[in-house]
Structure 1
């Protein structure tokens, strides 16, 4: 006897058939859309399942497999490999970090076209988990492009200029810190007995104190334990985010909450930095005199009170936002400039003939007793050309800060979907053999004309380009020039006897830092 299906089971079977059919149609549509979309994006290496190109595109052997053992590039750093990929895919190519599409822009013309000619499309910031967790997408460096960012950046830029940003009035603050550096260098060099001195802690401290005077209204002694701990925490936080397994947070965000290893350490670093900065904001709030603001923090709190008094409940000025602005400025105003100074000194140690020539120019123009000033800069073309040449070769932020396409757009014949992360490869601009002769060679004379005068070149862009160009560019240039020239006026730097120079490849993180090195410091007078 044949049993007939019940009405319920019959209905369910039809529901299942319909569900499966709908599922297959959706899968087909999604697959078709992705195929059409991916076919029009810039070319690039084939992604791996789940991780995309994350596990493979930075492996130097990738280049060797494509070119054989005689790879045309000697630079096997991550940014060097990214630049080398242009030989395979052109100046605009794609990568995937997990499922996230990343488009890398290479060469001056391409980067200028995107960031200067299409600023409304390419000025946004992506939601990168490791960064967003730390910054909450606030501040002025990592915040999304839009009205809030424009308001906050304009306020900060105007306020910092009022306190001396990029002006000669800031010179005494910079030179005061250098006097302390010189004294400490002599003491440490004598104690080392010829073993050499690590310049990094002193340079970082001096540079950081300049930005501290602008945003926190005070300077810190180099032996201040709390401040030293803060600098170490920020350095460690950047290192964890970029050069440790914690980078996997960008593919699997839940890894941030893992209760062990660098994931646990990263959360502790974030807590410690938060406590440090919020203590300063609290002190400023308690001692604020609206008629006599001391720094950017006072000015921000004053503006915050004015917004509240006016009943502007939708104002973007909040104490929470101030916290992230201070963090942004503290890191951006310390790490990049300190590394630039260290790179210049390292190159001059490795090239003592250039160091001698710079010092001869300083002696001729300034002498040995008068302190240097920014007014001397125009009279020291070889010195400035040397600094610029080191900036060209090192590019302390080689991939810039990641940008994002705020809308789907056509660019250079390709479709860039909305939400695509865009990396401007500044390293590729400064190592481009089509615009620089023998680009891998250290040659300050490339920035001088036949009469020895300084030449400005449009494709020299160490601070970026477009609306997201570094806000502290003028301050960084001032600190870099005064720090390098003041130290060279006073000291001769040499590698310790029998010591090999460190690799010039550097340590790649959010910034490109020189490998650790020590120098012997000898007074010139």
Structure 2
């Protein structure tokens, strides 16, 4: 017993010594570090409390490993963009290695990440990303989504799966070469599998594995002896997985929030539809270029992205070499955790951060303006490579639906639940709506 106490004391003193020079933070303890300080499953309140106590850049310890936490727009932006390449690594843990074995785009590092990301972007562009080819695919899925709601003839329906189906089929057409029908059992199994993966990302078991890495040390670790060429079948499969996950989950979740907000704010829905009616004919096929003529609608879509804030914290980045973050020396191997949510709700950059307000993206003349604190797609070297596709999908599908339907609360529903389901992405609780043909 005395020996255990002595060893624990030595570990405690060692941690205090190691923490010198890092940004301030809660006192770390042996084995558990200081990650216990944060209740990740509550909301962003505990990170706000952390920033209030220690500043907008502070340090948590995951066991004996330092995690630099960035809070607020200025800290998040500067921390991810200043010396961006230095902090472009991705945390390699048992969980990530079990998922991807260091391959693909999302959780890979070094040469593999650079080659696969470059190839992925190039391939998406060749297959239509950002041009008319991709737009036609999105318009096709928007048409099927409109037809789904039309067939329901105003009856109450849960829009979740049809939305996931429509959004996923856009990327399916790119990476698989065909679209799936709503009745396809294989497709449903694929979506359910992705849902389990996303839910696991913020489960207690995931954090237990991260806080106690010694628990799984005997299991396979990071890929070794990376060859000069990373174009093999394993990387291809993992990259397809990453593109499918990144190209469906986040956009579909945002579109689910979009329709929910139209139920909560019917006056905003009405204003969008009045603008659509004034600018476009009823038979007009919505295209991405229309956003330039629809400033209020474009502002509403950006406010949906801001207010839903579906990714509270970016996947941890890792310093790939000794560097400086906001004036602090950060050694190689330090993790960087950016609270993007805090930038999207930073009271120093948004007039009414905790209100759904499309005016955040409009100037005094009613023209659309982007805001510097709008970091919904992250920043730096790991910025979302699907940002262009996501914005096209959201705009075309949202406008196509509101052009055709008025969305209302089903009869008998007294209250709309806008609380989040906490996971790797922040989903709304299941809900039903009525799509009434206009």
TM-score (norm 1): 0.76
The answer for unaligned runs of 5 or more in structure 1 is 1-19, 60-75, 258-312
Picking from 187, 196, 202, the partner of 2:162 is: 202
* Worse-matched range after superposition: 214-223 or 174-183: 174-183
Picking from 323, 337, 350, the partner of 2:237 is: 323
* Worse-matched range after superposition: 49-58 or 487-496: 49-58
CA distance 1:165–1:189, shift in 2 (3 Å): same
User: Is 1:89 aligned to 2:54, yes or no?
Assistant: yes
Picking from 20, 44, 54, the partner of 2:25 is: 44
* Alignment check: 8 A CA contact 2:16 2:28 kept: no
Q: State how far apart, in whole Å, the 2-side matches of 1:470 and 1:233 are.
A: 22
* Alignment check: 8 A CA contact 1:102 1:421 kept: yes
**Alpha-carbon RMSD:** 2.4
Paired position in structure 1 for 2:318: 404
| Post-superposition CA distance 1:256-299 (Å, at most 9, x none) | 79xxxxxxxxxxxxxxxxxxxxxxxxxxxxxxxxxxxxxxxxxx
* Alignment check: 8 A CA contact 1:372 1:482 kept: yes
Task: Name the SS for the 2:19 alignment partner.
Answer: helix
Paired position in structure 2 for 1:119: 84
Picking from 198, 204, 226, the partner of 2:186 is: 226
Q: State how far apart, in whole Å, the 2-side matches of 1:220 and 1:324 are.
A: 21
Question: What is the CA-CA distance between 1:213 and the residue it aligns to?
Answer: 0.7
* Worse-matched range after superposition: 335-344 or 126-135: 126-135
User: Is 1:463 aligned to 2:427, yes or no?
Assistant: no
Question: What is the CA-CA distance between 1:482 and the residue it aligns to?
Answer: 0.4
- What aligned pairs does 1:42-81 form with structure 2 within 5 A after superposition? 42-47=23-28, 49-58=30-39, 77-81=42-46
Question: What is the CA-CA distance between 1:50 and the residue it aligns to?
Answer: 2.7
- What aligned pairs does 1:258-297 form with structure 2 within 5 A after superposition? none
Paired position in structure 2 for 1:165: 129
| Matched pairs, number | 424
* Worse-matched range after superposition: 484-493 or 96-105: 96-105
CA distance 1:340–1:521, shift in 2 (3 Å): same
CA distance 1:478–1:416, shift in 2 (3 Å): same
Paired position in structure 2 for 1:441: 355
- What aligned pairs does 1:121-520 form with structure 2 within 5 A after superposition? 121-144=86-109, 146-188=110-152, 194=155, 196-253=156-213, 314-520=228-434
Q: State how far apart, in whole Å, the 2-side matches of 1:178 and 1:231 are.
A: 19
Question: What is the CA-CA distance between 1:404 and the residue it aligns to?
Answer: 0.8
Q: State how far apart, in whole Å, the 1-side matches of 2:437 and 2:396 are.
A: 18
Higher RCO, Cα 8 Å, sep 6+: 2
* Worse-matched range after superposition: 47-56 or 468-477: 47-56
Q: State how far apart, in whole Å, the 2-side matches of 1:31 and 1:77 are.
A: 28
The structure with the greater share of residues assigned to helix is: 1
Q: State how far apart, in whole Å, the 2-side matches of 1:518 and 1:256 are.
A: 42
**Structure number with larger C-alpha Rg:** 1
CA distance 1:236–1:326, shift in 2 (3 Å): same
Question: What is the CA-CA distance between 1:253 and the residue it aligns to?
Answer: 4.9
Task: Name the SS for the 1:492 alignment partner.
Answer: strand
Q: State how far apart, in whole Å, the 1-side matches of 2:153 and 2:423 are.
A: 29
